[in-house]
Amino acid sequence: MTKPGTHDDLSQLGRQTVPPTSPEEARLERVANPHTERAYVVRFTAPEFTSLCPITGQPDFAHLVIDYAPGAFIVESKSLKLYLGSFRNHGAFHEACTLDIALRLEKEIAPHWLRIGGYWYPRGGMPIDIFYQTGKAPEGLWIPDQGVPAYRGRG
């Protein structure tokens, strides 16, 4: 039996992987944080995130920025990419998608701190931006601005 968070239990990295068809099916994997003695931020940016409107079935597009201060684990990036891609055929409102991603990351990697910015492109002429944060950032941690401007033809 392998210890959770070791490289032995990774099922996707370095292997051909069939993309999951839903967020529930997606396996979000983690590895041990190599620097638990340090406070630092990991940032993932997904500028081409897509999901489906649960009412019309039309595609919705977002620029996601995920920042977190790792605890004992870091998320394995290929599994995160596949997890985010699993929303492509998933019908949910912007708020649900953004918060579901944050809550799943909280559950799987238990970071010291996490925030997500979901910068959604206009639907019906109005962009909807969704923000979530787990609480105050750890003392002394440098947190850069997410760098996504207010909507004026973002890109």
Mind telling me the catalytic residues?
53, 60
Distance between CA atoms of residues 87 and 46, nearest Å: 12
Task: Please name the helix (run of DSSP H) or strand (run of DSSP E) that holds residue 105, with its range, or none.
Answer: helix 94-109
DSSP classification of residue 148:
-
Q: Give 77's DSSP letter.
A: H
For residue 148, give Cα distances in angstroms to 43, 99, 117.
13, 18, 9
Residue identified by tokens 């051909």 is 16
